[in-house]
Amino acid sequence: MPIDLRSDTVTRPTPAMLEAMMTAKVGDDVFGEDPSINALEAMAARLFGMEAALYCPSGTMSNQIAIKCHTQPGDEVVCEKSAHVYVYEGGGIAFNSGSQVRALEGDRGRITAEQVSLAINPDDVHRARTSLVTLENTSNRGGGSCYSLEEIRRIKEVCTDNQLKLHLDGARLFNALVAREQTPAQFGQLFDTISVCLNKGMGCPIGSILMGPAVFIKKARRVRKVFGGGMRQAGFMAAAGIYALENNIQRLTEDHRHAQMLAEALEKKDFVRNILPVETNIVIFELEQGGCAREIAKELKERGILGHSISANQIRFVTHLDVSPAMIAQAVEIIEQM
Ligand SMILES: *Cc1c(COP(=O)(O)O)cnc(C)c1O
- The residue-averaged pLDDT of 137-159 equals 98
With contact defined as beta carbons under 8 Å apart, do 319 and 8 qualify? yes
Give the residue among 56, 82, 76, 93 at the shortest CA–CA distance from 135.
Answer: 82
DSSP label at residue 327 = H
Mean per-residue pLDDT over the chain, rounded: 97
CB of 173 closer than 6 angstroms to any ligand 1 atom:
no
Ligand 1: which residue has its CA nearest to atom 6?
A: 59
Give the residue among 231, 152, 141, 143 at the shortest CA–CA distance from 190.
Answer: 152
CB of 220 closer than 6 angstroms to any ligand 1 atom:
no
- The residue-averaged pLDDT of 249-269 equals 97
With contact defined as beta carbons under 8 Å apart, do 207 and 56 qualify? yes
Give the residue among 3, 9, 281 at the shortest CA–CA distance from 143.
Answer: 281
In order of their start, the domains of the chain are 15-247 (3.40.640.10), 251-337 (3.90.1150.10)
pTM of the model: 0.97
Place 160 in a pLDDT band, splitting at 50, 70 and 90: very high
- Distance from residue 147's CA to the centre of ligand 1 (Å): 17
Q: How many other CB atoms are there within 10 angstroms of residue 249's CB atom?
A: 17
**Residue of 60, 89, 146, 224 to mutate, ligand 1, most atoms within 8 A of C-beta:** 60
pLDDT at 291 over 70: no
Residues in the chain: 338
| Alpha-helix runs per DSSP H in the chain | 15-22, 35-48, 59-70, 84-87, 92-97, 113-119, 149-161, 173-180, 184-190, 214-226, 235-247, 252-267, 293-303, 325-337
- The residue-averaged pLDDT of 148-171 equals 98
Query: What pLDDT was estimated at residue 289?
Result: 74
- The residue-averaged pLDDT of 273-301 equals 92
Per-residue pLDDT tens over the stretch 307-329: 999 999 999 999 999 999 999 99
pLDDT at 288 over 90: no
Query: What pLDDT was estimated at residue 85?
Result: 98
**Can you list the pairs that 220-226 forms with residues at least 24 positions away whose Cβ atoms lie under 8 Å?**
220/54, 220/65, 220/66, 220/69, 221/54, 223/65, 223/68, 223/69, 224/54, 224/56, 224/61, 224/65, 225/30
CA distance 60 to 56: 9
- The residue-averaged pLDDT of 157-182 equals 98
**C-alpha to C-alpha distances, 132 to 20, 44, 116, 144, 166, nearest whole angstrom:** 38, 23, 10, 23, 6
**The residue type at 104:** L
Question: What percent of the chain shows pLDDT beyond 90?
Answer: 98
